[in-house]
């Protein structure tokens, strides 16, 4: 059974020969470049400066030799920024900084920094609807975005891999928060509904334009489309379920329905944290796959999630707790955690093994391999 057969069975809630394995196959199951280089060294693979998949989080592209060593089943295909954008890094004293194609500023400490954090929000001072209307979006149809999509997707299919296609930006809610700034974002959700509605609708239009062209070009090769919106923290939602249902859910439904009309794909939705109170609503919007299944967050017990939602959702993630176990536990603790989570999520199919979100910089290679060894041992159906 090759990877495409294996993953497709899992996505259809059937049991393949083995639980599929993902590291680097989506934009939210990657690995920090520090941990990546350490893992390559540990496995006696050549160590060089990796290509970066996502600049802000310093996440590495998982190269083919490591993917083969780890028997990964999924290949990430990503669009490019528009043609007139390039990363230009600024020296800002103790920080290195850049501005992305949305006008959002990011900075990373020169000493001891693992990531770039947002510090400039281009709509922070917007006072009226006209300020939002004059904000210039990037071009979703810039030819450069689509330049290598078919080449990369065809290469993955030739290897027998499943293709996961990323979008041009983060989720509609996240992009509003990032351009507006988090404090004002929460104020707007409470009292400035006109601003929120206008921007979310523009973001849906932006994404629909991109997905229509992207799936016209590679929809025959793509198995999974990636979308996201983080809507919860460690202990609770970031806003009430009523706010989601009134303001955000109708836009998610419109976007996801449009995507699924373009090609016979499965819709993968990433949402961190204690998201359980909204899972039923997310199923209503048309998602097929939930990620990262943050099992350490409140209400996210994997066995309970499988019992309540396993008939309607594929769980992609939840394979090992990255908040504590993977980074600071012993290899034996990692293996025990993997075994528990597989026992909870795997029966009947509908499970793709991945760590909870990206593997962080401090994770020792011994623990990554303990995770992999446990998946290999306990993932047989």
Q: Which pLDDT score, from 0 to 100, does residue 196 have? A: 98
What's the Cα-to-Cα distance from 268 to each of 178, 285, 375, rounded to whole Å?
Answer: 22, 12, 22
Beta-strand runs (E) in 105-198? 105-109, 117-120, 162-165
Give the HSE-up count for residue 309: Cα atoms under 13 Å, Cβ half-sphere.
27
pLDDT of residue 251: 99
Give kind and range of the element (H or E) at residue 320.
none
Question: Which single residue is written with the structure tokens 């439904």?
Answer: 253
How far is Cα 116 from Cα 275, in angstroms, rounded to an integer?
25
pLDDT attached to residue 155: 98
Mean pLDDT of the region 266-285: 99
Cα end-to-end span (Å), the chain = 13
- What distance in Å separates the CA atoms of residue 122 and residue 103, rounded to the nearest whole number? 6
| H-helix segments, 248-315 | 249-262, 276-285, 302-309
Phi, psi (5° rounding) for residue 161? -95, 160
Question: And the tokens for 47?
Answer: 């160590």
Give the pLDDT of residue 87.
96
- Give the Cα separation of 165 and 145 in Å (integer): 12
pLDDT digits (tens, 9 = 90+) for 46-75: 998 999 999 999 999 999 999 999 999 999
CATH of 3-85+123-378, one of 3.40.718.10, 3.20.20.210, 3.90.650.10, 3.30.70.270: 3.20.20.210
Burial of 351 (0-12, 13-18, 19+ CB in 10 A): buried
Residue 379 CA: distances (Å) to CA of 16, 69, 292, 329, 340: 10, 17, 18, 21, 11
Mean pLDDT of 345-372: 98
Dist. CA 132–CA 151, nearest whole Å: 37
Q: What band does 154 get if pLDDT is binned at 50, 70 and 90?
A: very high
The secondary structure of residue 237, as a DSSP letter, is: B
- Two structure tokens written together for 289: 């796959």
Q: What stretches of the chain adopt beta strand conformation (E)? A: 31-32, 52-54, 59-60, 74-77, 90-92, 95-99, 105-109, 117-120, 162-165, 224-228, 266-270, 289-291, 314-316, 351-352
Share of the chain above pLDDT 90, in %: 100
Summarised one tens digit per residue, pLDDT across range 84-137 is 999 999 999 999 999 999 999 999 999 999 999 999 999 999 999 999 999 999
Residues contacting 346, CB < 8 A, separation 6+: 19, 379, 381
Q: Cβ–Cβ contacts within 10 Å for residue 360, how many?
A: 18
- pLDDT per position as a tens digit, 294-353: 999 999 999 999 999 999 999 999 999 999 999 999 999 999 999 999 999 999 999 999
pLDDT for 146: 98
pLDDT of residue 258: 99
pLDDT at 91: 98
Phi-psi region of 116 (alpha: psi -120 to 50; beta: other; left: phi over 0): beta
In this prediction, residues 170-177 reach a mean pLDDT of 98
Residue 246 has a pLDDT of 98
d(CA 352, CA 73): 9
Q: How confident is the model at residue 291 (pLDDT cuts 50, 70, 90)?
A: very high
Sign of the dihedral defined by the CA atoms of residues 273, 333, 74, 301, in that order: negative
pLDDT averaged over every residue in the chain: 98
Q: How far apart are CA 150 and CA 218, in angstroms?
A: 6
Res 315: pLDDT = 99
Dist CA 315 CA 333 (whole Å) = 22
């Amino acid at each position: 059974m090759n990877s495409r057969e294996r993953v497709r069975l899992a996505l259809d809630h059937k049991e393949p020969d083995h639980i599929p394995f993902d590291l680097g196959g989506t934009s939210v199951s990657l690995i920090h470049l520090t941990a990546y280089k350490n893992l390559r060294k540990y496995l006696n693979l050549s160590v060089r400066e990796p290509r970066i998949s996502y600049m802000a989080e310093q996440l590495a592209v998982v190269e083919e030799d490591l993917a083969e060593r780890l028997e990964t089943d999924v290949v990430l295909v990503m669009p490019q920024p528009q043609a007139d954008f390039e990363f230009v890094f600024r020296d800002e004293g103790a920080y290195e900084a850049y501005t992305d194609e949305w006008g959002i500023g990011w900075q990373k400490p020169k000493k001891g920094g693992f990531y770039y954090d947002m510090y400039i929000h281009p709509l922070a001072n917007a006072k009226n609807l006209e300020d939002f209307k004059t904000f210039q979006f990037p071009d979703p149809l810039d030819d450069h975005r689509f330049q290598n999509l078919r080449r990369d997707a065809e290469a993955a299919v030739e290897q027998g891999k499943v293709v996961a296609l990323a979008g041009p930006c983060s989720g509609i809610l996240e992009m509003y928060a990032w351009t507006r700034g988090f404090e004002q974002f929460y104020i707007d959700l409470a009292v400035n509904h006109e601003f929120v509605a206008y921007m979310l609708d523009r973001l849906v239009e932006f994404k629909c334009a991109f997905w229509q062209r992207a799936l016209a070009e590679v929809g025959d090769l793509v198995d999974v489309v990636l979308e996201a919106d983080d809507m919860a923290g460690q202990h609770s939602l970031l806003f009430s379920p009523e706010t989601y249902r009134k303001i955000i859910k109708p836009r998610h439904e419109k976007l996801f329905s449009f995507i699924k009309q373009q090609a016979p794909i499965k819709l993968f939705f990433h949402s961190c944290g204690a998201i359980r109170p909204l899972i039923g609503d997310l199923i209503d919007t048309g998602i097929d796959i939930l990620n990262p299944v943050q099992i350490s967050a409140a209400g996210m017990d994997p066995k309970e999630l499988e019992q309540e939602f396993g008939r309607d959702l594929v769980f992609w993630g939840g394979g090992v707790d990255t908040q504590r176990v993977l980074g600071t536990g012993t290899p034996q603790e990692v293996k025990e955690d993997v075994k528990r989570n597989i026992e909870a999520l795997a029966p009947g199919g509908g499970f793709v093994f991945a760590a909870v979100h990206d593997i962080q910089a401090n994770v020792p290679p011994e623990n990554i391999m303990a995770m992999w060894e446990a998946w290999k041992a306990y993932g047989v159906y």
